[in-house]
Amino acid sequence: MNYRLLQVELFKTQEDVNDTIYVLGTGLSHDGSAVLLKNGKVCIAIEKERLTRKKHDGGNDTVAIQYCLDAEGITLEDISLVVQCANFEIPERDYHRGKRLFTKKGSPEVVNISHHLAHAYSAVGTSPFNECAVMVIDGCGSPLEQYLALHPEEKHLIADTILTRKVMQCEKDSFYHFDGKKLQPLWKDFSTMTRHHDYTLQLPSTQHSIGGFYAAISHYVFGNMDDVGKLMGLAPFGKSGVYELDAFTFRKGTLEVIDEWKAVLTNPSPSYAHFKQHFEYYANIAKWAQEQVEEAVIQCISSRMEKFPHQNLCYSGGVALNAAANRKLIETNIAENIYFEPAAADNGLALGCAFYGWLAYLDKDKVPHNGDTCFGKVYPQKDILKALKKERSNQYTQKVFVDENEMLQHLASELNSGKTVAWFQAGSEFGPRSLGRRSILAHPGKDNLQYHINTSIKFREDFRPFAPAVLKNYAHKYFVAGRESPYMILLDHTRQEYINQLQNVTHCDGTARIQTVDDVWNPKFTKLLKAFQVESGIPILLNTSLNKKGMPMVETPEEAMILFKETALEILVLENTVLTKK
């Protein structure tokens, strides 16, 4: 029996003695995170940025892992297996930008997997499918050398033209089949890394990356690459057809970036004032880039699905967060069912690592997932009282509600009058979207509320849109397609007759990045929406993340209190405690 099989047998023996098996997944890229599975189900997970308060924080994973261990009330000795993913290096057991937890004798075994494999397992582990195809598209995955070191048996999938290049190449897109336990790679594409030089339109990834192209355009328009979501928000203000340029071409099953368009883009924005002065120009650039990405995504995925068809498709990687492209993908009817992984970017790597450990390494059966993506710990009343005491102020009133329905009716009335509400409930969301646990809520139709929240609460660009959270059964009434979209990862169109009623959550082109809400894993938020419907006649609230520009989403009651004091928010709800500014 080989070593790996012996390990599996030892784990099976352990299971007989102790029914609880913990698998820890950790991602060491940017947007680092840690995930703890308990007998195949996520029991706790956190993104590192929520704890360090540094956007897109990654690298050393100690703080995120310790959060998970403390929340579950266990120690590292209780962990059966650790699975990790790092982009450009496989770190030593005891070092990665500082000391890690795996330094003591007797620490659990640490298994390494490649970047795209982690993205893929994050999707299948949380998807409703027992069998499916999986597509991964992002900015940049594992280097070829690292990939082959981790998965030498998959060398036959790589074209000779790739294997013979003497330059650094990284995963660009990957396509898999999931049989219920394990992923079988069907197509792997790699691309040469771009050379480092000071050039605005340099792709910060591989030469032929969809994600890298979008980040480069974001840098051209806004002067940074970290918030490409702004580009998607800007695109609807632009006009189609202003630039007749192709950014991509498809050759022999490989998507490539064409360089000719770079010669046309000669006016990178040096400042926000310059951007505002030339708003139409940059909006047209954003529109062109968005349309190019949509076409590239559809062409790439269509090519893979035509070769390896399946009725179910999972889609992950950072590009899978583009809600406009996702809508176009669904409209192609490329698969009967498509699951968009809500933590599709590198924050989801730890999730995939954990599921790989459970499904593939330990050879366990997939445990059904109820769709929940809120994996943070619940803060007890003592933590709320501590935050209230520390941030005590005579600028607000405080009331603790014993009756939940009374509190929801009170909040519904305040929201209907135009008040803005900071909503802090239960465990935080895992992924980039606020889904009713760490949210700023407001009326979807009151005049000027969108502008007020952008300028006086979020402190961000005034063109950026907000999402509607709608009771799932009413999606068809207010939106054209009415698709189920629990993770704010799909665009829809607001029906014409409701655009004024939903003016704060409808973008300039009539689209809305909707969140459909039900009580399966969002019961309290569902009740609030129902109470607001009784009060206003509308089963919809404006929902945006509980933070301000440049800040990760709020994690603790104390952070919520600080944000409440620093902004024009009028009401803060900490579980059943309601603070109202005088």
Structural domain contains residue 373:
no
- Is the separation of the CB atoms in 541 and 419 below 8 Å? no
Q: What is the mean pLDDT of residues 110-135?
A: 97
**Same domain as 111, residue 138:** no
- pTM score, two decimals? 0.93
Structural domain contains residue 194:
yes
Query: 């062409």: which residue's tokens?
Result: 299
At residue 2 the predicted structure's pLDDT band, cuts being 50, 70 and 90, is very low
The enclosing domain of 158 has a CATH number of 3.30.420.40
Position 206 scores a pLDDT of: 75
Q: Which residue has the higher pLDDT, 17 or 228?
A: 228
Structural domain contains residue 248:
yes
Structural domain contains residue 525:
yes
> Which residues form the domain of 109?
3-117+351-361
Please say if the pLDDT value at position 9 is more than 60: no
Quote the number of domains for the chain.
Answer: 3
Q: What would the two tokens of residue 153 be?
A: 């048996």
- Is the separation of the CB atoms in 324 and 294 below 8 Å? yes
Structural domain contains residue 366:
no
**Same domain as 328, residue 431:** no
**Same domain as 86, residue 175:** no
Query: 């004032």: which residue's tokens?
Result: 273
Which of 310, 340, 370 finishes a domain? 340
Distances (CA, A) of 485 to 107, 469, 516, 568: 41, 10, 5, 30
At residue 159 the predicted structure's pLDDT band, cuts being 50, 70 and 90, is confident
The answer to which of 391-395, 505-509, 526-530 has the lowest mean pLDDT is 391-395
**Same domain as 388, residue 271:** no
Query: Residue type at 160?
Result: D
Helix (H) / strand (E) containing 563 = helix 557-566
**Same domain as 213, residue 260:** yes
Structural domain contains residue 222:
yes
Angle between the N-to-C axes of helices 279-307 and 210-222, in degrees from 0 to 180, rounded to the nearest 10: 170
Position 94 scores a pLDDT of: 59
What pLDDT, in 10s, does the model give residues 443-455?
A: 999 999 999 999 9
At residue 20 the predicted structure's pLDDT band, cuts being 50, 70 and 90, is very high
**Same domain as 334, residue 234:** yes
**Same domain as 271, residue 193:** yes
Position 19 scores a pLDDT of: 87
Angle between the N-to-C axes of helices 557-566 and 381-390, in degrees from 0 to 180, rounded to the nearest 10: 40
Angle between the N-to-C axes of helices 323-331 and 279-307, in degrees from 0 to 180, rounded to the nearest 10: 40
**Same domain as 133, residue 60:** no
**Same domain as 136, residue 234:** yes
At residue 17 the predicted structure's pLDDT band, cuts being 50, 70 and 90, is very low
Structural domain contains residue 34:
yes
The whole-angstrom distance between residue 88's C-alpha and the CA centroid of its chain comes to: 22
- The per-residue b/e assignment along 24-37, b for 16 or more CB within 10 angstroms, e otherwise, is bbbbbbbbbbbbbb
Q: What would the two tokens of residue 308 be?
A: 């390896």
Position 207 scores a pLDDT of: 83
**Same domain as 111, residue 142:** no
Phi, psi of 190 (to 5 degrees): -120, 155
Position 3 scores a pLDDT of: 38
Q: What is the mean pLDDT of residues 268-283?
A: 94
**Same domain as 154, residue 97:** no
Query: Residue type at 280?
Result: E
The enclosing domain of 525 has a CATH number of 3.90.870.20
**Same domain as 466, residue 319:** no
Q: Give the rounded percent of residues in the chain with a pLDDT score beyond 70.
A: 93
Q: How far apart are CA 450 and CA 320, in angstroms?
A: 26
* Secondary structure letter of residue 34 according to DSSP: E
At residue 4 the predicted structure's pLDDT band, cuts being 50, 70 and 90, is very low
Structural domain contains residue 512:
yes
Q: What is the mean pLDDT of the chain?
A: 92
Position 12 scores a pLDDT of: 45
Q: How far apart are CA 372 and CA 374, in angstroms?
A: 6
